[in-house]
Amino acid sequence: MGLTGGIGSGKSAVSARLVARGAVLIDADQIARDVVAPGTAGLAAVLAAFGPEVAAADGSLDRPALGRIVFADEAARRRLEAIVHPLIQAETARRIAGAAAGDIVVHDIPLLVEVGAAGAYDLVVVVEAPAALRLARLEARGLPREQAQARMAAQADDARRRAAADLIVDNGGTLANLDAQVHEVWQALLARRDATAT
């Protein structure tokens, strides 16, 4: 299953609830961090492409500095994607191979729609929340408003994500409402798994 949604929509809240029910999570954001960790070929390639100003004092990637560059310049963002996407795909494939038969694997992929990957999943779940709420969540995380708006604008809009969705989770309400919707998603996943097992 592919899980996606705009930045600040609450994909992590949904994925955490699915994991609590037994899903195996493959988190594209975590993999994206792992492939540019200190000592990796990915970090070396990013530093070669963007210069020492995106290196933190401890040698790790200065993600905020890189974000300021790539979310303000589409060509720079595409350059970064050309470096990290193949690395992410290879690591994702490695982790998928480690899942056991019968596991329900949830791929948390923020840019699933943007990279045209919806067709690779038997089910696509889109997490939504109103833009104003998403912006408030990002600001509460410490992201300046202008940067939050730039990141939101760089992603697909709600209509494009809805067009790729099999199921939509509305994360603009209460936690109880979110829990109820995640329960429905989980039941759909179990039904699909059981149908393919017979």
CA–CA gap between residue 185 and residue 198 (Å, rounded): 21
pLDDT tens-digit map of 53-79: 999 999 999 999 999 999 889 999 999
CA–CA gap between residue 168 and residue 185 (Å, rounded): 9
pTM: 0.80
pLDDT tens-digit map of 7-30: 999 999 999 999 999 999 999 889
CA–CA gap between residue 42 and residue 178 (Å, rounded): 36
The rounded mean pLDDT for the chain is: 93
